[in-house]
Amino acid sequence: MSQLAKVPTTAKVAKKRKWRGDNAWGYAFIAVALVVYAMFTAYPVVSAFIISFQEYRPLGSVFIGFENYINTFSDSLFWKSIKNTIVYTVLTVPVTLFLSFAVAILILPLKKRTQTAFKAIYYLPAVASGVALSVVWLWIFDPMPSGILNKLLGLFGISNLNWLGSSSTAMFSLVLMAWLSSHGTSIIIYLAALLGIDVSYYEAADLDGANFLKKLWYIVIPFLKPTTLFLLVTGVIGSFQVFQNAYLMTGGGPDNATTMVGLLIFNNAFKYFEFGKAAAQSLILAAIIASISFIQFKFFGKNIEY
């Protein structure tokens, strides 16, 4: 009896020692990340869900059910902002992916030191302040003859255009800004993926007499499918959340021609203090992004080996 009594006691002691050892340190390290996640991600999402069913007031909110959602779906400005965001996404994301891929292909054959220099040059705008970059772009789109873009067009006899002040050119101006802005992150990810392709595939293609385009089509593009899918999904998510460019460059105007859904949510929350409506719109936006991401994985994720 005394022998049997010692068995669970020994196991419990060993378990306790293990807990105090590696496991304790592991839980301590992830606890920091879990606390940060709970405070700055989980809590705001839960709060937004609760507020979306309320008429939010600082000294006592009122439960109003689905009224914020009904008002959102019947708001023509909300649908216009969704349309603007979709147009912006369709025009910017594919071009951005193509430019990043093309630059990565051009940089790849260079010597390591030259390659690093180009990577630093292309990544530099990503670490610069978005406000500072917007100031530069405001100078480029200046409607006066002193504006850089108008100066260039003037060389071809084209008269000045009010790039950001006209509803016919404002959206194109934001798209142009996205095309020519930083692609550093995508370029570096593409370069890392290109360097991961085994050289033996290129050597085998050389033996078969394959030219550059055939290597690109039969080796590079198939191997880069996972990377392209990742950049496509993250690019669409980022594009649907675009706020800074529209807020700083046009403020959503003229005539709401550049009001993106992110800017609309910001205006409802911090300009008109309709926090309940803004929370409902942010959750609808999250549902739209999740649906589009699911469709992208469903249709573009086929035949991809991770």
Residue 279, Cβ density class (10 Å: 0-12 exposed, 13-18 middle, ≥19 buried) = buried
Residue type, 239: S
pTM listed for this prediction: 0.85
In degrees to the nearest 10, what's the CA dihedral of 294, 295, 296, 299? 130
Distance CA 58, CA 63 (A): 14
106 and 49 in one domain? no
Greater model confidence, 260 or 17: 260
**What is the structure's pLDDT at 13?**
64
Q: From the DSSP assignment, how many helices (H) and strands (E) are in the chain?
A: 17, 2
- The closest of 304, 162, 280 to 224, measured between CA atoms, is 304
Q: How far apart are the first and last CA of the chain?
A: 56
Q: 21 pLDDT band (50/70/90 cuts)?
A: low
User: pLDDT tens across 55-84, in order?
Assistant: 988 778 889 999 999 999 999 999 999 999
**What is the structure's pLDDT at 10?**
64
134 and 281 in one domain? yes
The domain that contains 225 carries what CATH number?
1.10.3720.10
200 and 257 in one domain? yes
**What is the structure's pLDDT at 66?**
93
Overall number of domains in the chain? 2
240 and 198 in one domain? yes
**What is the structure's pLDDT at 4?**
47
244 and 121 in one domain? yes
| Percent share of the chain, pLDDT over 90 | 54
Mean pLDDT along residues 139-150: 87
Phi and psi based region of residue 279 (left: phi greater than 0; alpha: psi -120 to 50; beta: remaining): alpha
180 and 61 in one domain? no
Q: For residue 137, report the phi and psi dihedrals to the nearest 5 degrees.
A: -70, -30
117 and 28 in one domain? no
133 and 34 in one domain? no
Reply yes or no on whether the pLDDT at 6 is more than 60: no
Identify the helix (H) or strand (E) that includes residue 194.
Answer: helix 184-195
56 and 135 in one domain? no
Residue 126, Cβ density class (10 Å: 0-12 exposed, 13-18 middle, ≥19 buried) = middle
Specify the DSSP class assigned to residue 56: -
Q: 305 pLDDT band (50/70/90 cuts)?
A: low
Those residues whose C-beta lies under 8 Å from the C-beta of residue 18, and which sit 6 or more positions away, are none
Q: 2 pLDDT band (50/70/90 cuts)?
A: very low
Structure-block tokens of residue 201: 């595939």
**Cβ pair 254, 143 in contact under 8 A:** no
**What is the structure's pLDDT at 85?**
95
Structure-block tokens of residue 257: 């021609």
**What is the structure's pLDDT at 188?**
92
Residue 7 in any domain: the answer is: no
User: pLDDT tens across 167-209, in order?
Assistant: 889 999 999 999 988 788 899 999 999 999 999 999 999 998 8
Domain range for 34: 22-67
Helices 43-51 and 275-300 cross at an angle (nearest 10°) of 120
Mapped to the 3 state alphabet, what secondary structure does 241-301 carry?
A: CCCHHHHHHCCCCCCCCCCCHHHHHHHHHHCCCCHHHHHHHHHHHHHHHHHHHHHHHHHHC
Residue 268 in any domain: the answer is: yes
Q: 306 pLDDT band (50/70/90 cuts)?
A: low
- The closest of 240, 243, 133, 232 to 177, measured between CA atoms, is 133
36 and 99 in one domain? no
Q: 97 pLDDT band (50/70/90 cuts)?
A: very high
202 and 113 in one domain? yes
204 and 91 in one domain? yes
